[in-house]
Chain A
Amino acid sequence: MNILLYVISYFSLLVFLIACVVRAFSYARTPIHLRWELYPVPHEEPKRVGYGGSYYEEAEWWNRPSPRNFLGELKSMAAEILFLKALWEFNRKLWYRSFPFHFGLYILIFTVFIILLYGSLSLIFPDLMTGNVGAGLQFLYQVTGAAGIALSIWGALGLLALRMTDSRMKIYTTPGDIFNLLFFIIAFGTLAAGCLAGVGPSSGMLAFSRGLLSFDTGFETSGLLATGLILTGLLVAYIPLTHMSHFIAKYFTYHNIRWDDAANRRGSKIEAKLAECLAFRPTWSATHIGADGKKTWADIASSIPAQEPKK
C-alpha cells in the first residue's frame, strides 16, 4: 500500500509538471500575434499607470526608450495573483467564494513545502527534529494545513452553491464544472479527515513525507488518509488537463496580450518574427481574399482584388 501511495504521489506530480509544461509550451509556440493590448498597462511610466495612459501620449514616442516599469508590473501581478483584484473590483459576490478557495490553495502549496522540509530534515538531521525546530515545523504544518484545507473547502462549497443557484451561472455550468468543484471538496475533505484521524508518530502527513522521500515501507497509514492522498494526487494530475490551469493561461493573457505594447522597430526581433508570419500561406476561401494556398500573407496584403477587373 505504501509503495502504491508513493508511486501515485510521484506519478501525479510528474503528470502535473509535464501537463503544465506541455500547455505552456503549446501557447508559447504560437506565432507572434497582432497587438491587442488593453489599458492600463502596468509597466508604463508610473505617472500614466493610474489613469491608463500609454507612450502614445508622447509626441514622437519612437524617439524615446520603451517604458520599463517592472515595479508597476510586479505590484499589479501581486494584487491579482494573491488577492484576485479583478474579482474584488468587478464581481464581489464571487470574490467572497473564489478568494478563500484560491488563497486556501496557496496556503496548501506552502504547507506541502513545510511537509517536505520536515521530511527532508528528519531524514538528514533526525536529532534536530526532536527539538524545537521539529515542533515548530509541526505547528506550522498544522496551522497552515488546517487553514488551507478549511479555506479551500469553504470556498469550493461556496462556488458550487453559486454555480447551482445563480441564474447567471447556471445555464453555462456543465457537469464537468460541478465535478471539478466536487473533486476538490471530496479530495480535500477526505485528506483532512485522514489527517485528523491519524494517531501516533509514524502516521499522518509528516510521516508520509518522510516515507515518500525515503520510500520507507514502514509508514503506517489509515485507509482514510490513503484515500485522501490518492484522491488529492489524482486531483493534482487532473488540474492542468482542464481549464483550471488558468494559472498558466494568465501569464499569457496578461503578459503576452493585455500588456504587450512592445513596438515593432526596424531591424528588431519582432520584425524578424513578423517576416516569418507574413510568409505563411493562408487558404481562406472567400474570393476577395484571393488566397490560393500559394500566395503569402505579404502577397495578399499588397494585392488589391477590388481593383482587378472581374473575370
Chain B
Amino acid sequence: MKKDIRLEDLSKREKEPLVHLEKKDLMPLPYPFEDPEQEPSFAELSEQIREKYECGLDDTCAVNVPKPGTKEEEDALVAKFLSGLEKLFTKENNWTFLQPLLLSMEHCAKCQTCSEACHIYEASGKNELYRPTFRSEVMRRLYFKHVKHGGLLSAWQHGDIEINWPLIARLIELSYRCNLCRRCAQTCPIGADNGLVAHELRKIFSQEMGIAAKELHETGSMLQLKVGSSTGMNAVVVKDNIEFIDEDMEEKIGIKVETPWDVEGADVLLIHNAGEILAWPENPGAFAVILNAAGIKWTLSSEVAGYDSINYGVWYDDAQFARVAVKHAEAAKKLGVKKIVLGECGHAHKALTVIADRVLTGDLNIPRESSMTLIRDIVMNDRIKLDPGRNDFPVTLHDPCNMVRLMGVVEPQREVIRKICPQFREMTPHGVDNYCCGGGSGFAIMSGNNFPDWRFQVAGRKKMEQILNAFSDCMDPSIPKYLCAPCSNCKGQFRDLLAYYDMWNKHKINYGGLVELIVNAMVDVKPGFIEWEWH
C-alpha cells in the first residue's frame, strides 16, 4: 500500500524500508498484462542482506553499503559526506559540473513539471520517493544548510532537513534509482536538472567516500583500467574472441571476414563496447562485414581500453571517466588514425564524443564520430547492395538516451531502417522525447540482490509499455518481431526485460542492433543472418 513519504522521513531510524511497492500500485501495462497478477513477483530481500547492508529505502538494495557498527563510525561517515558536499561546490574539485549544479541548486521552483516526464516516477504509480525533485530537494536543503551555512532565515526560505547516517545511507540508494536519462531536465522551464543532481550525489559517494555500485567501479572502471576491459578480457583474449567471431561469421554468411588489428594510419579506429564481443558477437561481426564490404580502411586497437568503449565513470566518478577517456584517445593517438568511431553503445557515444570533448586537449583531441553516421553514409550511398525484402518483419527502434536526447544523433539510424525495413514502426514517443530502456546509468549491468526486479518492474516498465504498444498489431507469436537497439547497455536491459516478461516464448519479440539488420539485408551474403532464436 502506498504511504505518504515526506522529505524528513529519510532521516528516520526505522528498520523497515520507507517504501514498499505492490503490483497494484504500479502503472498498468497493456495487453497481455492488464491483470497485474500476471506479472512476475518481486523477490524479497533476505533477512541476512537486510541485517548486513543499508536497505532502508525501498524493496531493493543496489549498492550494498555495509551498516556501520558504532555511533562513531556513523559520525565519521556523516562527516565525510559533509566534506564531500562542500568539495562538490568548489571549482578545484568540481569545475566539471559546478555551474550546472549551482543553478540547479539555487533555482528550482518546485513546480513539479519534471515529474510527469520521469518514467520511474510514473511507472512506480507516482510514488513520492521516486519523484525527480524528491532527491534533489533533500540535496538542495543540505546545500543551503551545510554549504551556504544558512541559518534560520535560510531554513524558512529553503526548508530544513536533519542530517544523519540513515539519511545519507538512503541518499546513496536513492541516487541509484535514477537512470540519468535527463528527460526531466528537458521539461524544466527553468533549466534545473534533477538527473545532474543524482549524478553529483553519486560523485560525492564515490570520490569522497569510496562508495559506488560494485558493477560500475570495482568490476567496471577499475577492472577496465587494470586489464583493458570491464569484461575482464585482456588484449590476447579479445583478439582470440574476435578471431573466433570472424570465423563464425564467415561460416554463417559465406564470405571471408577479417578484422584488422592495430593498423597504423587507418582512417577509422572502431571501438566497440566489449560486452558486445562476449554477449552479442554478431554485432562486431556485422560491423566487420559492412566496413570491409564498403572498403573502409579501419582497425581495432589492442591497447588498454582501446578495444572497450565503455566508460562507466560518466555515471558516477569524474576521475574514472577522465582516465578512461584519456586511454581511448591515447590508443587512437598511438595508431595515428584519422578518427575514432564509436560502435553501438550509447553511453560510450556521449562519454567520448561529447563530454570528453572538454577533457581531451592538444594531440589527444582526435576527431570522434558516431557509427550511426558512418553506417548511414555507407547504406544511403549504396556502397553495399541491400534487399529490404529480407527484413520484411515488424521492426521498431529504441532511441538510446545518450545517443539521442543527449547527443542529437536521431536521424541516421532511422534513414537506414526506413530504407531496409519495410515494416518499421516508431515507438510513441520517440527521438529526443524517448523513454529510457530502464537500464541507463549502469542499471543494465547491476544485478545484485533483487535489484533486477526493480529494474524491470519499475525502471523498465515504461519502455515495456512502449514495446507492447509498438507491436500491438502483431502480437501473434507466429510473427517474429525485432526491437532494434543500437546500444549495448540498452540491449542488455532488453535481453533481461524481454526474458523477464517471457516476450520471446509468448510473442516472438526479439532484439538486436542496427548493423545486424543491415547484414541481414545484404544481397552478397547468405540469407538468414538474423537467427530467430533467443540469445
Contacts and interface: CB of A to CB of B under 8 A. Distances in A.
B527 interface: no
A54 B407 contact: yes
Interface string B396-421: 00000000111111111000000000
A256 B373 CA distance: 27
Given A175-B156, A243-B108, A277-B95, A89 B187 contact: yes
B410 A57 contact: yes
Interface string B262-291: 000000000000000000000000000000
B377 interface: yes
A33 interface: yes
Contacts, number: 273
B222 interface: yes
B294 interface: no
A176 B107 contact: no
Interface in B131-184: 131, 133, 137, 156-159, 182
Nearest to A243: B107
Interface string A244-264: 011001101110111001011
Contacts of A32: 95, 358
Contacts of B108: 243
Contacts of B210: 285-288
Contact of A253 (B91, B107, B109, B339): B107
A189 interface: no
B65 to A, nearest CB: 14
Contacts of B159: 172, 174, 176
Contacts of B326: 301-302
Contacts of B157: 174-176, 242
Interface stretch (B53-61, B190-198, B473-481): B190-198
B438 interface: no
Nearest to A258: B191
Contact of B102 (A30, A280, A304): A30
Interface residues of A, number: 89
A58 B406 CA distance: 16
Residue of B92, B322, B353, B370 most packed against chain A (CB within 10 A): B92
Given A26-B102, A36-B100, 20 more contacts: A27-B102, A30-B99, A37-B354, A60-B339, A84-B189, A89-B187, A90-B116, A94-B111, A168-B115, A169-B112, A171-B128, A174-B157, A176-B158, A256-B99, A263-B357, A266-B361, A271-B362, A285-B84, A286-B210, A301-B359
22 contacts: A31-B98, A36-B100, A38-B405, A56-B353, A56-B407, A60-B339, A86-B188, A172-B112, A175-B157, A176-B159, A177-B110, A243-B108, A246-B107, A264-B361, A277-B95, A278-B361, A280-B93, A282-B92, A284-B84, A286-B207, A297-B322, A300-B323
Interface of B: 6-7, 80, 83-84, 87, 91-93, 95-100, 102-103, 106-113, 115-117, 128, 131, 133, 137, 156-159, 182, 185-193, 196, 206-210, 217, 222-223, 225-226, 319-320, 322-323, 325-326, 339, 353-355, 357-362, 365, 367, 369-370, 372-374, 377, 404-412, 431-432
Kindly list the 8 A-B residue pairs having the minimum CB-CB distance in the complex, ordered from nearest: A54-B408, A253-B191, A176-B157, A52-B432, A301-B322, A86-B189, A91-B113, A31-B95
